[in-house]
Amino acid sequence: VTGASFVVFNGALKTSSGFLAKSSIVEDGLMVQITRETMEGLRQALRDKKDFKITCGKVDTGDVKEHVDICWVENEEKTNEG
């Protein structure tokens, strides 16, 4: 679990890169590089206020260890305290 001040979603990751998605810490935030297709799915999920999961790692390995989860919560006040 990583806490971040901001999140950047970059939809320029090429399918030919061999990655499903890539995440990296940038200063005090998180940058998630995703494909164009994943970006379209993320945008639709945000419009519909639905949870969305991005799986990070190489396409050809079955051992995926990172996920970026976008979750809608009932009570923002408790989530964002402090």
Answer yes or no: is 36 within a domain. Answer: yes
- What is the reported pLDDT for 37? 95
What is the domain-level CATH number for residue 32?
Answer: 3.30.1360.220
Q: Domain range for residue 34? A: 6-70
For residue 57, tell me if it sits in a domain.
Answer: yes
Is 17 inside a domain boundary? yes
Instruction: Calculate what percentage of the chain has a pLDDT beyond 90.
Output: 60
Task: Report the mean per-residue pLDDT for the chain.
Answer: 87
Angle, CA of 28, 81 and 34, to the nearest 5°? 40
**Which pLDDT value is given to residue 6?**
92
**Does residue 34 sit within a domain?**
yes
Question: Is residue 73 exposed (0-12), middle (13-18) or buried (19+ Cβ within 10 Å)?
Answer: exposed
| For range 69-73, the mean pLDDT | 89
Q: Give the H or E element holding residue 46.
A: helix 36-48
Asked if residue 22 is part of any domain, the answer here is: yes
Higher pLDDT, 61 or 1: 61
1 in a structural domain? no
The count of domains in the chain is 1
pLDDT in tens, 10-50: 999 998 998 999 999 888 899 999 999 999 999 999 999 99
